[in-house]
């Protein structure tokens, strides 16, 4: 019993999980006070603001991919912009990426339909079984983290070896499969440009297997009655090589840059790209995996779909370490080799927002 806050946390977590209704179930039930399992300390939510003039000048880079393959001069300029963004921010937005706006809208609408259908339908997908390729739950780390976050999630493995279409939710299966094909093609472009940004052959990261698999993490952040007492997604780095994020127009995403939380405002038609821990590892810290978070907001729901490029659903003991072509006497390997499975086991065991699975692999 946690007498300092007057409730049995373990019992509250169990009761919430057993509803299989997620955070949206709380909102549907008329909750006007954030339950204790979601409450965070003020310092964990604290957000410093810039002066307005300064804030306008500090923005996540925007990269236009329209002529990436047509004009050699623009191609080199895009590579340089991507290198700088990946080194200094670990984040950038891409426009003119080739995925039709209609496809992006269909995905957002389909994911919203899934989360807003009757509870009885969603419950069919509710599970915490790690090996399930399609599942719905609230907070994958519900029983490990210090505080639950104000969000629900539909998780779908899309490649390789995806499940049959009928195993995806009918509300969004066609949209997810169509988007998966588009984002796979975009991933090929992004990994090629990032390989060149590292001074490597365009196919180097792809040949390593960095984009052999991808999964969709489809988040639903309900409007929160007390957004100053909880958070949509606590600060974290992504456990993958690369993330391509589609977000709606609600906003709330922030990246930690130079010890300040910087808003990444929605940009119509744009996709957000960020470097994952595994790409920082193989690039030997050349590319940066940055902490980011999502604030809880009175407005909502907020919908986002993150595509994680990773191979964690493949039965492989392949080891990943710093790319040897990037080593030098002045730049020796900074990390131990690791399998995706071992890295993810470390990531899933994190209980404190300040801990890092990547730090555990750093050579002394």
pLDDT digits (tens, 9 = 90+) for 134-144: 999 999 999 99
40: pLDDT strictly greater than 60: yes
Nearest to 115 by CA among 303, 296, 307, 253: 303
Query: By three-state DSSP, how is residue 149 classified?
Result: coil
3 pLDDT band (50/70/90 cuts)? very low
What pairs with residue 154 in β-bridges? 136, 218
Please tell me the predicted confidence (pLDDT) of residue 56: 59
Mean pLDDT, residues 176-183: 98
Tally of CA atoms within 13 A in the half-sphere of 275 that contains its CB:
29
Q: In what order do the strands lie in the sheet with 292-295?
A: 231-236, 292-295, 253-257, 260-263
Distance CA 234, CA 149 (A): 7
Distance CA 282, CA 129 (A): 29
Q: What average pLDDT is seen over the chain?
A: 92
Mean pLDDT, residues 149-157: 98
Residues 280-304: tens digit of each pLDDT: 999 999 999 999 999 999 999 999 9
Residues 43-102: tens digit of each pLDDT: 878 765 444 555 556 899 999 999 887 788 899 999 999 999 999 999 999 999 999 999
Distance CA 307, CA 106 (A): 16
Please tell me the predicted confidence (pLDDT) of residue 55: 55
Question: Any idea which residue has 């990773």 for tokens?
Answer: 310
260 phi and psi angles, rounded to 5 deg: -130, 145
Please tell me the predicted confidence (pLDDT) of residue 115: 98
Contact indicator for 282, 322 with CB cutoff of 8 Å: yes
Tally of CA atoms within 13 A in the half-sphere of 188 that contains its CB:
7
Q: What are the C-alpha distances in Å from 338 to residues 191, 200, 281, 286, 287?
A: 21, 22, 10, 18, 18
Burial class (CB in 10 A: 0-12, 13-18, 19+), 41: exposed
163 phi and psi angles, rounded to 5 deg: -70, 165
Domains of the chain: 9-361 (2.60.120.330)
What pairs with residue 292 in β-bridges? 236, 255
Q: What are the C-alpha distances in Å from 163 to residues 133, 156, 210, 218?
A: 7, 9, 21, 17
203 pLDDT band (50/70/90 cuts)? very high
Query: DSSP state, 7?
Result: B
Distance CA 87, CA 289 (A): 9
């Amino acid at each position: 019993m946690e007498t300092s806050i007057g409730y049995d946390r373990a019992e509250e977590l169990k009761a919430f999980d057993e509803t299989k209704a997620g955070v949206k179930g709380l909102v549907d039930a008329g909750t006007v006070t954030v339950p204790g399992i979601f409450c965070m300390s003020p310092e964990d939510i604290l957000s410093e603001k810039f002066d307005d003039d300064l804030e306008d000048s500090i923005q996540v880079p925007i990269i236009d991919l329209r002529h990436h393959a047509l004009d050699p001069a623009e191609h080199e300029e895009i590579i340089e912009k991507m290198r700088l963004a990946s080194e200094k921010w670990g984040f950038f937005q891409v426009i003119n990426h080739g995925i039709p706006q209609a496809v992006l809208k269909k995905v957002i609408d389909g994911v919203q339909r899934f989360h807003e259908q009757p509870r009885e339908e969603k419950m069919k997908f509710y599970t915490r079984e790690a090996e399930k390729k399609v599942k719905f739950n609230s907070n994958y780390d519900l029983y490990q983290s210090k505080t639950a976050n104000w969000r629900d999630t539909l998780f779908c493995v899309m490649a390789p070896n995806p499940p049959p279409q009928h195993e995806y939710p009918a509300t969004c299966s066609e949209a997810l499969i169509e988007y998966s094909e588009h984002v796979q093609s975009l991933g090929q472009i992004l990994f090629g440009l990032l390989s060149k940004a590292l001074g490597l052959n365009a196919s180097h990261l792809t040949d390593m297997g960095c984009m052999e698999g991808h999964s969709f993490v489809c988040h639903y952040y309900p409007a929160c009655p007390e957004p100053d007492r909880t958070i949509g997604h606590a600060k974290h780095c992504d456990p993958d090589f690369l993330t391509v994020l589609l977000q709606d127009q609600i906003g709330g995403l922030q990246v930690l840059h130079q010890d300040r939380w910087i808003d990444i405002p929605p940009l119509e038609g744009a996709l957000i790209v960020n470097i994952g821990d595994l790409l920082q590892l193989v690039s030997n810290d050349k590319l940066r995996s940055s902490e980011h978070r999502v604030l809880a907001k009175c407005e909502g729901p907020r919908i986002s779909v993150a595509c994680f490029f990773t191979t964690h659903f493949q039965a492989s003991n392949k080891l990943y370490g710093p790319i040897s072509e990037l080593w030098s006497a002045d730049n020796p390997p900074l990390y131990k080799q690791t399998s995706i499975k071992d890295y993810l086991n470390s990531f899933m065991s994190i209980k404190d927002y300040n801990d890092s699975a990547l730090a555990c692999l750093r050579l002394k």
